[in-house]
């Protein structure tokens, strides 16, 4: 029987990547990336990707597998990630997945269908986004599929377009194709949480560090190479590109990145907080690794069920 996948999830800037390395070292495992933007080559500073030295010799899967001009696909990720899991299990190696992209984590772990696409339908919807704005299409989605609209923010134009595309092609609610909280790949999920004020300061510090580590040079190189829509619109990259175009000052760009990352953290907390299978730990716990390993041991022994039976979304510590 294959070992449970250990998935380290939660909002950005809580230390998921570092904990994943520690767990992999303790469990004799390998790390599987579940962050959509860390799939891209050359997007290192702005995604807080661990350097080779920080990986401490632990093999990492699905880092740097896409060109920034490519569009990331959840369906493609599912196929690649599950192939990596199968490879690790065939070698008797534990998989430690880490990332804050909730849809990618669910695609890895849960049953998830991927309806087809139609370039013409998508082009019409994307044109409407340009002309009417994403909020107008989100309002339309709210009328035809309120469940899907509740899970997709009005600013997330790409997912709003995808939801309306699926509805147009299948005649069924987009929400009917979304995953349920039932594992297809057996796993234990460990969520890292943090007091909101502390997390906000971590985000601000991370932004300052990214600029010190060469974010502007990184974005300049990427723009010269060419960036697809997903990469170019990512938090940190869109604002830095605006800085390079002279549309923002350095201080304005830093403030915009910090604010955008904080919004992302709230969104991630809402996504993972709705999953009753996530077992939460305080990222500041001095015994974090030991407590995480204890959760893994309980799960391996079959003594760890759902973290909560409360269907209400979980709030972040201190919120």
Q: Is 270 annotated as a binding residue?
A: no
Tell me: the pLDDT tens digits for 67-93?
A: 999 999 999 999 999 999 999 999 999
Give mean pLDDT, residues 175-196.
90
Query: CA 73 → CA 36, 174, 181, 280, distances in Å?
Result: 9, 17, 21, 28
Domains 5-111+183-214+278-300 and 119-177 share a fold: no
Give mean pLDDT, residues 7-22.
97
Q: Is 307 annotated as a binding residue?
A: no
CATH architecture of 5-111+183-214+278-300: 3-Layer(aba) Sandwich (3.40)
Q: Is 236 annotated as a binding residue?
A: no
Q: Is 13 annotated as a binding residue?
A: yes
CATH domain 119-177 topology: Histone, subunit A (1.10.20)
**What is residue 307's predicted lDDT score, i.e. its pLDDT?**
59
Question: Integer distance in angstroms from the first to the last C-alpha of the chain?
Answer: 41
| CA atoms 218, 221, 223, 227: torsion sign | negative
Q: Is 301 annotated as a binding residue?
A: no
pLDDT confidence tier of residue 112, bands split at 50, 70 and 90: confident
Beta partners for residue 7, in sequence order: 97, 189
The domain spans of the chain are 5-111+183-214+278-300, 119-177
Q: How many CB atoms lie within 10 A of CB 294?
A: 13
DSSP for 191-212, please give it: EEE--HHHHHHHHHHHHHHHHH
Tell me: the pLDDT tens digits for 287-309?
A: 999 999 999 999 999 988 765 54
Phi, then psi, of 188 in degrees rounded to 5? -125, 130
Q: Is 319 annotated as a binding residue?
A: no
* Residues 75, 78, 83, 84, Cα dihedral to 10°: 130
Cβ contacts of 116 within 8 Å, gap of 6 or more: 169
* Predicted TM-score of the model (pTM): 0.84
DSSP state of 40: B
**What is residue 291's predicted lDDT score, i.e. its pLDDT?**
98
* Residues 256, 262, 266, 271, Cα dihedral to 10°: 80
């Amino acid at each position: 029987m294959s070992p449970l996948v250990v998935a380290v999830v939660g909002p950005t800037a809580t230390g998921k990547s570092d904990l994943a390395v520690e767990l992999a070292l303790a469990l004799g495992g390998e790390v599987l990336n579940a962050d959509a933007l860390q799939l891209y080559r050359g997007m290192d500073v702005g995604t807080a990707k661990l350097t080779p030295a920080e990986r401490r010799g632990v093999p990492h899967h699905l880092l740097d597998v896409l060109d920034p001009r490519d569009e990331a696909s959840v369906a493609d990720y599912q196929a690649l990630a599950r192939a990596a899991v199968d490879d690790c299990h065939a070698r008797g190696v534990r998989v430690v997945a880490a990332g804050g992209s909730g849809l990618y984590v669910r695609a890895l772990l849960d049953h998830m269908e991927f309806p087809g696409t139609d370039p013409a339908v998508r082009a019409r919807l994307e044109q409407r986004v340009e002309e009417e704005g994403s909020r107008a299409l989100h309002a339309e989605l709210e009328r035809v599929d309120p469940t899907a609209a509740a899970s997709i923010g009005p600013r997330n134009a790409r997912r709003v377009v995808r939801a309306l595309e699926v509805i147009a092609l299948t005649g069924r609610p987009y929400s009917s194709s979304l995953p349920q909280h039932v594992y297809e790949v057996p796993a234990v999920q460990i969520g890292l949480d943090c007091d909101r004020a502390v997390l906000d300061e971590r985000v601000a510090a991370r932004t300052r560090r990214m600029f010190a580590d060469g974010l502007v040079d990184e974005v300049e190189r990427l723009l010269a190479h060419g960036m697809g829509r997903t990469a170019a619109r990512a938090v940190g990259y869109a604002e830095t590109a605006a800085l390079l175009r002279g549309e923002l000052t350095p201080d304005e760009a830093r403030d915009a990145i910090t604010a955008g990352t904080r919004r992302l953290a709230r969104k991630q907390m809402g996504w993972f907080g709705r999953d009753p299978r996530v077992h939460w730990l305080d990222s500041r716990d001095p015994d974090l690794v030991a407590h995480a390993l204890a959760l893994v041991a309980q799960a391996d022994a079959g003594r760890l069920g759902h973290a909560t039976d409360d269907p209400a979304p979980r709030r972040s510590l201190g919120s």
